[in-house]
Amino acid sequence: MSNFIYNFIIIPIARIIIFFLRLINPKVSEREKNWKTIFESYPIPQDNKKVIWFHAASMGEFEQAKPVIEELKGIRNDLFIVCSFYSPSGYQNQKKYKFADSVVYLPFDTKKNAMLFINKIQPDIAIFVRYEIWHNFLSELKNRKIPVILICATIPGSKYLYNNIFFRSFTITNYNFFEKLFTVGTEHTDFFIKLGVKSSIETLNDTRFDRVNKSILQNSKNEILPKELFKEKELIFVAGSSWETDENIILESVQKINSELFKIRIVFVPHEPTEEHLRLLKQKIPGSVLLSKILTDLESMPLEKLKATLHNKHIIVDSIGKLLHLYSLADFAYIGGAFGAGVHSVVEPAGYFIPLACGPKMRNSPDAVNLRVLGALQIISNEKEMYIWLNDMLDITKRNSTGKIAGEYVMHSIGSTERIVSEINELLTKIRK
């Protein structure tokens, strides 16, 4: 019954909605216009290659697939990796991903499209990420006895999928299409068991921990700014993915602490370093210097001279892609976004063994919740609380003990990628080409 309702009621309604959305939404229009052309250019794998299909909804979920893809590519040369996305943002940002042999859009979830897509790519194994569930694709894979794994599985975001009588049955059916679910924690495993999912379930952690750990090891060897550029006794405070409210609170507190003696140098890394945002931030911080200017001066100016010109100046990062590197310089960090929709990623800075702080809206991030419970993350609601936290962080014993808690949280969470790759390799041994 649920299959009938999905394919003969929900799918037709969704197609009508998409038809009208493509007229007013540029992203939907781009996707619907180009998915077939991109799909038709799909390269045919060599006969001896085993095809592994990875599907993620968008960029965030694909970050969870990357550690697995890169580990597989590093240990095997007989694989053809296909990556698909439903969202245009995911496809556009990852279409040149060097570890993928082909990057395509996933067609809309009709029975016809599922057959067309699977006939074309001929996957030996399919890997779906997090809660990206497409009924007809999964059903077709199951009918063809192609093993499907769900990695980084989490409780579905919508409660209707498991509280509503119809959707609950439909959701259980969809999860039972998977040969195995790898969840990101015991609460998620317990949820699927209680829901009645019969697929094999194993509790791991988020694969992004492995990616962060790998990035940290690489960044420690390729620093953006030399530590010698800063005074020995000053502390570096990185404000990552900051928004205006974050910046105002930080500035007021640091200025108060620095009023008698310069102790804290801020490195602001705006979430969106637009010209307007940078202009406003520079107005609030007279004498601040842009990171691009420092990097240019590093090429032509002796280190000691540059160090003198940077005397007591805060730094504003005017480009993207630098934040992970800059956390390696930090004595402590603030993660932005939690005065808006929700805090940005706290795992990256935690991996550098430094104390963390963020605004009040942090329940969108399970890692932020966990780090707060452990005592590694301080919630800041106003300038007064920021001032108190920063004063605490001036104490090296307090700073080191708090940072150790943050770092150990990350270190204890790595290893999921290795386990998932082991499972995939085991399945591959059963496939003959």
pLDDT at 57: 86
Residue 1's pLDDT band, with cuts at 50, 70 and 90, is low
Residue 433's pLDDT band, with cuts at 50, 70 and 90, is low
**Is the confidence at residue 275, as pLDDT, over 60?**
yes
Q: How far apart are CA 361 and CA 384, in angstroms?
A: 18
Least confident of 40-49, 388-397, 400-409: 40-49
Contact 331, 236 (CB under 8 A): yes
Domains of the chain: 2-205+415-428 (3.40.50.11720), 216-411 (3.40.50.2000)
Residue 52's pLDDT band, with cuts at 50, 70 and 90, is very high
pTM for this structure? 0.79
What DSSP element (H or E) covers 114? helix 111-121
pLDDT in tens, 205-262: 999 899 889 888 877 777 789 888 998 889 999 999 999 999 999 999 999 999 989 9
CA angle, residues 408, 414, 419, in degrees to nearest 5? 155
pLDDT in tens, 180-198: 999 999 999 999 999 999 9
- The share of the chain scoring above pLDDT 70, in percent, equals 98
pLDDT in tens, 133-173: 899 999 999 999 999 999 999 998 778 788 877 788 889 99
Q: How far apart are CA 288 and CA 312, in angstroms?
A: 9
Q: Which residue is associated with the tokens 């800041």?
A: 380
pLDDT in tens, 361-371: 998 888 999 99
> Which CA distances in Å does 332 have to 117, 154, 379?
48, 30, 14
CA-based Rg of the chain, rounded to a whole angstrom?
24
Contact 38, 117 (CB under 8 A): no
**Is the confidence at residue 12, as pLDDT, over 80?**
no
pLDDT in tens, 83-106: 999 888 788 888 899 999 999 888
Contact 69, 100 (CB under 8 A): yes
- The DSSP output letter for 153 is E
Is beta strand 356-358 parallel, antiparallel or unpaired with respect to 377-379?
A: parallel
pLDDT in tens, 104-138: 888 888 899 899 999 999 999 999 998 888 999 99
Contact 71, 417 (CB under 8 A): yes
Q: Exposed (0-12), middle (13-18) or buried (19+): which is 80, by Cβ within 10 Å?
A: buried
Strand partners, 240: 269, 335
